[in-house]
Amino acid sequence: MPDKTFTTEDTADVVKKLVESAKGTDFPSLAPLTSLLYWDGKPVSLQDHFQFQPIFGSNIPASMILMCGRQEGKSLQGALRTILLALTNPYLRQLVITPLRSQIERYSREDVETFIDSSPLRHEFVDKKCRMNIMERNFINNSAIVFSFAFLDAIRLRSISGIDMLHVDEVQNMNPDFIPIVQSTMQASLKLACTFYSGTPLSIDNQIELLWEQSSMGSWTIQCPSCRRENVANIKHDAIKMIGKKGPVCVECDHLLDTRKGYFLHENPEKLTKFPGYNIGQIVHPYHCEYPHKWALLLHYMETWDEPKFVNEIIGGSIDNAGDPLTKQQLVDCCDPEHPNEIQAAADLCRTAEFVLLSIDWSGNSVTGKSTTGINCIVKLPGDPRLRIVYMERRPPLQDHMDDANRIKQLSEFFEVDMVCHDYGGGGDVRETTMRQEGLRPGCKIIPIELVSARRKPVMYLPKQVTGPGRRSYMLDKARALDYMYALMRKGQIILPSWNTCKNLADDFLNNAVESHETPRSSPYIIYVPRRGKVNDIAMSALLGLFTGWWLQGSIPNLRGTLSDEEEDDMDSGLYN
């Protein structure tokens, strides 16, 4: 615990000293400064949140992650950290982002605003000239906290720049595709460009678990005073066995443990300076393990909740509960044994097709650290209502953009392609420019498509105007589109080349997992996440091409019939414009 705390009598002197101490590149430790801010009429203290002290340290790493159970105060402590960084570092620009607008408004209004307005030193932090609205808060020292959200899309973030520090709260519910876009707000920073992640875990394939495994992986650990056994409160170690009748116990001798004598034990200590990670569950948090009635409630949850919910929200751990949208046998059943995944065989089918599409999912930034460029050739044959993938190809990782464009040109000419559709999100605009420079088959059109979350819009639509940089592109609701694709694959409505000739590529269709996410005020929604350590580029490339083909046909085939009237109305000739 800190030796000194600050009182209202320190006032202006304290703040001036803090500003002085922050000049240059060294950041002061924030833990002694928490009492500058107030909560419930009292100075803030880490006495009952001592496990959060590391996030208030003077070390500002490039990345940091805080993975906790529910109702532990992680968002509140994150807000406290953000404010103290702003107060002690002039001209520092921070961005706090959550998936939902309601979450970021609550964070700004109920956490950040309350901390500032409750402090007797408020007049030393802000004045009438400071902007203090829900989406941005400025301070006298010219530091700023910007607030935003990214659920349906990340377009609004493209206009934010000059950010020095980023806080992604509830990162487990964030669309993984948005993280690189969010981090791009720090590209112009000459200071730190640091990212602080926080959230509650879900499945082992969720990005919060993938980020956690890239960190130092520090778990709260309590050494037994009786047998000296180290008890690691992590789901992969001792967490479940530590749950005793009256509190956390030693898994070896059943001795009752004192969480205040614990410490973080890091599995990857060499990463502490660059990417520290901290895991705290309710079973070792004072608010839950030191009060008998709260512990009794925890035991009740253990008996009545399903295992995934208990592990996620109480233990603060990830569990393998993501669903599989397609079985291996269903995938094999989609394959046509008569048509191999060979260029000449595919070209022969293309010669007789009603239309030929080339679809591309570009390699790029990925939470899994693995990404390749996936290419599919898709055709519609006369007399067959089904779309057929006649050729698949994976480009080597980190391939030069011009080499990729040259290969696409070759394939467009050999297959006599009518259209090339590609993922326009991220760096897709740059890729398209390279394709145009390299050239395509004469008359071949380029169709840009962005994968978004748009539950209230048609599954695929063309916006009436450009809402961000670049040209107008088609929007494809990723979760619903994948739902459609997998449902049709299960019904045998999508044909692939023979299994023996494409299994190493077709396996990508098995590398997407489904997660269900709850929202505060509406029904749960689903997202698709790549399986850990796997790539899904061929599947995502196929998604773009299949929907372009169905768009051309005017309907999705026999899932429950055709598209809704609203979706049919949205299918206009603008595809060719």
pLDDT in tens, the chain (577 residues): 333 444 444 444 555 555 454 443 344 578 888 888 888 888 988 889 999 999 888 778 889 999 999 988 888 899 999 999 998 888 899 999 998 888 899 999 999 999 988 888 888 888 888 888 889 999 989 899 999 988 766 777 777 888 899 999 999 888 777 888 888 888 877 777 789 999 999 877 788 988 999 999 999 999 999 999 999 999 999 999 999 999 999 999 999 999 999 999 999 999 999 999 999 999 999 999 999 999 999 999 999 998 888 999 999 998 876 677 888 999 999 999 999 999 999 999 999 999 999 999 998 644 444 578 999 999 999 999 899 999 999 988 767 888 999 999 999 999 999 999 999 876 788 888 888 888 888 889 999 998 877 767 888 888 877 655 567 888 898 888 998 999 999 988 999 999 999 999 999 999 888 876 665 555 566 777 777 778 899 999 999 999 999 988 887 765 544 334 443 343 332 332 2
Supply the Cα-derived Rg of the chain in whole angstroms: 27
Cα-to-chain-centroid distance, residue 438: 34
- Alpha carbons 173 and 525: distance in angstroms, whole number: 10
Reduced to 3 states, what is the DSSP secondary structure of residue 39?
A: strand
User: Hey, do 1-200 and 328-560 end up sharing a CATH topology, with the first three levels equal?
Assistant: no
With 0-12 / 13-18 / 19 or more C-beta atoms within 10 angstroms meaning exposed / middle / buried, residue 414 is middle
State the Cα torsion 256-261-264-269 to the nearest 10°. Answer: -120
Structure token digits, residue 388: 């057929």
Residue 400, both tokens = 């030069």
What is the distance between the alpha carbons of residues 174 and 199, in angstroms, rounded to a whole number?
Answer: 10
Q: Which fold has domain 1-200?
A: Rossmann fold (3.40.50)
Q: Where are the beta strands (DSSP E) in 239-291?
A: 263-266, 277-280
DSSP 497-518: S-HHHHHHHHGGGGSEEEEEE-
What does the pLDDT read at residue 218? 94
Task: Measure the CA–CA gap between 211 and 231, rounded to whole angstroms.
Answer: 24
In one letter, which amino acid is 452?
V
**Residue 484 to residue 478: CA distance in whole angstroms:** 10
| Helix axis angle, 11-21 to 74-88, nearest 10° | 80
Which two tokens mark 188?
A: 């112009």
CB-CB contact of 216 with 269 (8 Å): yes
Distance separating alpha carbons of residues 117 and 126, to the nearest angstrom: 10
**Distance separating alpha carbons of residues 178 and 321, to the nearest angstrom:** 23
For β-strands 474-477 and 445-452, DSSP reports them as parallel
Say how many C-beta atoms besides its own lie within 10 A of residue 535's C-beta.
23
Domain at 328-560, CATH class: alpha beta
Please give the C-alpha separations between residue 165 and each of 161, 277, 371, in angstroms, as whole numbers: 11, 17, 26
For residue 265, which amino acid is it?
A: L
Query: Which residue type, as a one-letter code, is found at position 287?
Result: Y
Q: At what angle do helices 428-438 and 401-414 cross, to 10 degrees?
A: 60
CB 576 within 8 A of CB 445: yes
* Residue 572, helix vs strand vs coil: coil
Write down the residue that tokens 């990417």 correspond to.
275
For residue 485, what is the DSSP state? H
Alpha-carbon distance of 241 to 252, in angstroms, equals: 9
Please tell me the predicted confidence (pLDDT) of residue 428: 81
Burial class of residue 178 (count of CB atoms within 10 Å of its CB; 0-12, 13-18, 19+): buried
Q: What is the 3-state secondary structure (H, E, C) of 98-150?
A: ECCHHHHHHHHHHHHHHHHHHCCCHHHHCCCCCCEECCEEECCCCCEEEEEEC
Look-up of token digits 């070209």: 347
pTM tops 0.75: no
Secondary structure (DSSP) of 430-451: HHHHHHHHH--STT-EEEEEEE
Q: Which residues contact 179 (CB under 8 A, 6 or more apart)?
A: 168, 207, 365, 367
Domain boundaries defined on the chain = 1-200, 216-320, 328-560
- Helix, strand, coil percentages, rounded to 5, for the chain: 40, 20, 40
Inter-residue contact 137 to 131 (CB < 8 Å): yes
With 0-12 / 13-18 / 19 or more C-beta atoms within 10 angstroms meaning exposed / middle / buried, residue 503 is middle
- Residue for token digits 């392609």? 417
